[in-house]
């Protein structure tokens, strides 16, 4: 029923969340952003940030997701992944969406930072917290880099 042939390389989205104290979570899959099945979260992120980017939709999505994450949490259940949770006493204030290229022959599927290339697709950072923390810690696999479709 769900059988398909995947290509050697694919574009995927990764997220990085930043707190008001500069703590970062990610880069990782966007699954914990919303209390939906992980594949629906991926589809929403792709639609809003990659396929049909419109600034108002992106800002609205980021504000809503951060408000939800800061006000409630949920546990892993079936196809729904647990929410991202900020450390005690901290709040999520920034959300970055990256478009990465993954090579399924060379990237470790357990390491979500191991990619061929990564480009910032969108940054929601009203408090400019991202300026105070280092860039995400990607592990680039050897081989030719692929030019991403988005510019950050």
What is the C-alpha separation between 138 and 115, in angstroms, rounded? 7
Q: Quick one: CA dihedral 53, 25, 120, 81, positive or negative?
A: negative
pLDDT at 7: 84
Q: What is the DSSP string of 122-146?
A: EEE-TT-GGGGSPPP--EEPSSPPP
pTM for the model: 0.88
Nearest to 117 by CA among 148, 150, 149: 148
Over residues 108-122, mean pLDDT: 95
**Distance of CA 84 to CAs 3, 94, 106, 120, Å?**
30, 13, 28, 20
What is the C-alpha separation between 3 and 133, in angstroms, rounded? 41
Residue 4: pLDDT band by 50, 70, 90 thresholds?
A: low
- What is the separation of C-alpha 142 from the centre of its chain, rounded to a whole number of angstroms? 22
pLDDT at 143: 55
- pLDDT tens-place string over residues 7-60: 899 999 999 999 999 999 999 999 999 999 999 999 999 999 999 988 789 999
CB 100 within 8 A of CB 115: yes
Question: Residue 1: is its pLDDT beyond 70?
Answer: no
Question: Residue 5: is its pLDDT beyond 70?
Answer: no
pLDDT at 139: 95
pLDDT at 56: 86
1 versus 137: the higher-pLDDT residue is 137
CB 25 within 8 A of CB 84: yes
Residue 3: pLDDT band by 50, 70, 90 thresholds?
A: low
- pLDDT tens-place string over residues 51-109: 998 878 999 999 999 999 999 999 999 999 999 999 999 999 999 999 999 999 999 99
């Amino acid at each position: 029923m769900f059988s398909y042939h995947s290509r050697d390389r694919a574009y995927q989205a990764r997220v990085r969340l930043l707190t008001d104290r500069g703590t970062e979570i990610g880069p990782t899959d966007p699954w914990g952003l919303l209390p939906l099945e992980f594949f629906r979260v991926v589809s929403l992120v792709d639609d809003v940030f990659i396929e049909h980017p419109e600034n108002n939709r992106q800002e609205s999505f980021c504000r809503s997701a951060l408000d939800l994450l800061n006000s409630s949490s949920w546990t892993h259940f079936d196809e729904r992944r647990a929410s991202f949770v900020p450390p005690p006493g901290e709040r999520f204030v920034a959300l970055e969406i990256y478009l990465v290229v993954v090579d399924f022959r060379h990237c470790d599927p357990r390491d979500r930072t191991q990619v061929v290339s990564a480009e910032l697709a969108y940054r929601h950072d009203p408090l400019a917290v991202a300026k105070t923390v280092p860039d995400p810690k990607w592990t680039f696999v050897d081989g030719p880099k692929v030019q991403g479709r988005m510019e950050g």
